[in-house]
Amino acid sequence: MVDTEARIQSLREQINEHNYQYYAQDNPSIPDAEYDLLFQELKALEEKYPEYQSPQSPTQRVGSEPLDGFRQIKHKVPMLSLDNVFDRSSLSSYIEKIHERLKADSGLEFVAEPKFDGVAISLFYHAGVLQYAATRGDGETGEDVTLNARTIKSVPLQLRGQGFPEELEVRGEILMPRAVFNAINQSSEAAGEKIFVNPRNAASGSLRQLDPAVTASRRLHLFAYSVGYFSGGGLPERHSDTLKLLDSWGFATSRLTQKVAGDSGCQSYCEELSGLRPGLDFDIDGIVFKVDRFDYQQALGFVSRAPRWAIAYKFPAEEAVTTLLDVDFQVGRTGVLTPVARLEPVFVGGVTVSNATLHNMEEVARLDLRIGDAVVVQRAGDVIPKVLRVVPERRPDDARLILSPDQCPVCGSEVISIEQQVAIRCSGAWLCPAQRKQSLKHFVSRKAMDIEGFGEKLVDQLVDKDMLKSAVDIFSLDIQDLLLLERMGDKSAAKLLKSIEHSKKTTFARFIYALGIPEVGETTARSLASNFSNVGALLNASEEELQTIDDIGPIVARNICHFLQEPKNSDLIKALLDLGLHWDSTEAIEGTADSPLAGKTVVVTGTLTRFTRDEVKELLLSSGAKVSSSVSGNTDLLIAGEKAGSKLLKARELGVEVINEDELEGWLAE
């Protein structure tokens, strides 16, 4: 019997330690399968010997009975709120004021912590054993969510180690990881059920479930951020050291928490954490700065409901509600019409947003959008603004349907829909000024013909004045033409003519890219340039021939053929060459003539460890190589990664030179 009790005790200790490593330290110590064995053994022993059962056992997280309501719990010390600042200069003013109040030199120490975007919780321990867990409620009284909190693996049921006060109330934030949130919403959506608006609501809803088994299934997480109350023991003199102790007692504290000094330290932390924010596992909505020394905290005290010793710097809101005023259709280079939401200007994610792309009419239908709707707009980080959803309760009676146009809003040509594609297109091609403008802007752009000083406004003016019908006209512009334009003097006109002339010497790849063939970006243009010796060869290429080039699939091959077979396009190409556009045919790619890879037809196969496929391809192309997808008599070199298969065999058969990843690096370095 004594052995059984000792074994149960030992199993509990082992499991608690593994839980701590896994949930608090994010550092799993044993494989899941081994953990499961320990857990099953403990469960079996506890079932067989009920006299040894204990509420602190790691098997006792999920109780059996659902509740019919939550009991109220009065907090021993009120749970206060934090004062906010919304920009960095207000943060500086706060830091400066604190220095003044404490008569401190400039480098006062603060603890900078993420402001977790979840639900606040208070956990009360007696002699290291969890007694109850309460929500914040109104700050004075919260709800008893003990049974639910016990199901959260990062909430210690029993504190680790020693030295904790007899009574200890720990505060922290309960969060739902973004991945869990997405998974739950995905399955709710598939089942036609209501979805959560954000991880915070999901965490809050999950914590306030009457059935703890539901809470357990939601995989919530706790980050501890302070001690609310303690007696019968002591705490360190600093908040930073208290966090370290909480960590050692079994709580998860955030790795992102840092000690910083003075305003400059706080500001650089803002910079750093804002950058990390999009990649975090959890939502955070700001940063909390806390004066580190407790004696300073005490001296600073409180103002009404918030401590003076801490401040929350709130990130600019990423979502806001505004009104959809109208939907315009923008015409792109290839004639695709894109619906664009015109919005009542709204400040979101640090900028004022008044437009957002709606991508295509399928998206408009998916959002069930009407003009006049209240819409939620999101702008996260540097990402372009997006309409997330409609607020259906706020739809006005006169909200209007958004109809797909049957005429191009710019040139009036018929709008056509393309088989098997969601996009709709203006059929006007070069007759449509919008398409012409976009094509010409693309033609002169930096990565294409790179005509310096030929900006977008200039293109707009020239097309509006009917002075540019196609790219050919660029090369017949003269000084008289240019002087007719706004803000164009002798000097800038002469300079522009010089850069037009200068651009005539280009590269084959740039020339191909400048043509604006649908789906032919820079990389594909480079592939084409290194696989065809001249324009004539490219113009004659068949779809099959194009498909042998690495990365060119059937759709891109068809686009290229269609484009080049269109008489107006082949005429344009010939006219441009007649005007003197040229490139060095021995040097297909700028500056690659010396590379050992220049001009070689290369195939890549197998798994590479140091590069992605795209990276290798990009590197090869920029060294002047041609990249092909299959090994043939034309192949000069095979780069074989791990698990190379039939291509390697074929290369050996044909006597093609084969190199591995290390050798490739050497070649590239040359």
Q: Please list the active-site residues.
A: 115
Q: Phi and psi for 606 in degrees, rounded to 5?
A: 80, -175
Contact 172/121 with Cβ under 8 angstroms? yes
Candidates 95-103, 115-123, 344-352, 525-533: pick the segment binding ligand IVH (CB under 6 A).
Answer: 115-123
Candidates 109-117, 192-200, 364-372, 638-646: pick the segment binding ligand IVH (CB under 6 A).
Answer: 109-117
What character string, x for contact with ligand IVH (CB under 6 A) and - otherwise, covers 222-251?
---xx-------------------------
What character string, x for contact with ligand IVH (CB under 6 A) and - otherwise, covers 421-440?
--------------------
Q: Please give the Cα distance from 556 to 554 (Å, whole number).
A: 6
Binder to ligand IVH among 61, 75, 115, 600 (CB under 6 A)? 115
**Least spacing, CB of residue 205 vs ligand IVH, in Å:** 16
Q: Does 120 bind ligand IVH (CB under 6 A)?
A: yes
Q: Does 113 bind ligand IVH (CB under 6 A)?
A: yes
Q: Does 470 bind ligand IVH (CB under 6 A)?
A: no
Q: Phi and psi for 284 in degrees, rounded to 5?
A: -130, 150
Q: Please give the Cα distance from 247 to 226 (Å, whole number).
A: 11
Q: Does 307 bind ligand IVH (CB under 6 A)?
A: yes
Q: Does 173 bind ligand IVH (CB under 6 A)?
A: yes
Nearer to ligand IVH, 58 or 142 (CB): 142
DSSP state of 623: T
Q: How far is residue 291 CA from its own chain's centroid?
A: 32
The residue sitting closest to ligand IVH, measured at its beta carbon, is 120
User: Can you spell out the DSSP letters for 30-77?
Assistant: S-HHHHHHHHHHHHHHHHH-GGG--TTSGGGSS-SPPPSS--EEE-SS
Binder to ligand IVH among 20, 94, 110, 116 (CB under 6 A)? 116
Buried b (16+ CB within 10 A) or exposed e, 182-198: eebbeeeeeeeeeebee
Contact 550/617 with Cβ under 8 angstroms? yes
Element (H, E) at 133: strand 129-135
Q: Does 205 bind ligand IVH (CB under 6 A)?
A: no
The owner of tokens 């064995």 is 37
**Least spacing, CB of residue 85 vs ligand IVH, in Å:** 12
Buried b (16+ CB within 10 A) or exposed e, 319-354: bbebebeebebebbbbbbbbbbbebeebebbeeebe
Candidates 80-88, 150-158, 552-560, 586-594: pick the segment binding ligand IVH (CB under 6 A).
Answer: 80-88
Candidates 75-83, 319-327, 461-469, 560-568: pick the segment binding ligand IVH (CB under 6 A).
Answer: 75-83
Q: Phi and psi for 170 in degrees, rounded to 5?
A: -105, 140
Candidates 76-84, 329-337, 571-579, 585-593: pick the segment binding ligand IVH (CB under 6 A).
Answer: 76-84
Q: Please give the Cα distance from 52 to 1 (Å, whole number).
A: 11
Q: Does 550 bind ligand IVH (CB under 6 A)?
A: no
What character string, x for contact with ligand IVH (CB under 6 A) and - otherwise, covers 251-290?
-------------------------------------x--
The owner of tokens 């994610």 is 349
Binder to ligand IVH among 21, 29, 81, 499 (CB under 6 A)? 81
The SS3 of residue 292 is: coil
Q: Does 80 bind ligand IVH (CB under 6 A)?
A: yes
Candidates 74-82, 356-364, 548-556, 558-566: pick the segment binding ligand IVH (CB under 6 A).
Answer: 74-82
Q: Does 313 bind ligand IVH (CB under 6 A)?
A: no
Nearer to ligand IVH, 112 or 459 (CB): 112
Size of the site for ligand IVH (CB under 6 A): 13
Nearer to ligand IVH, 242 or 605 (CB): 242
Nearer to ligand IVH, 295 or 578 (CB): 295
Number of H helices, E strands in the chain: 25, 28
SS3 per-residue string spanning 460-516: HHHHHCCCCCCHHHHCCCCHHHHHCCCCCCHHHHHHHHHHHHHHCEECHHHHHHHCC
Nearer to ligand IVH, 46 or 173 (CB): 173
Q: Does 153 bind ligand IVH (CB under 6 A)?
A: no
State the residues that interact with ligand IVH by CB under 6 A. Answer: 80-82, 113, 115-116, 120, 136, 173, 225-226, 288, 307
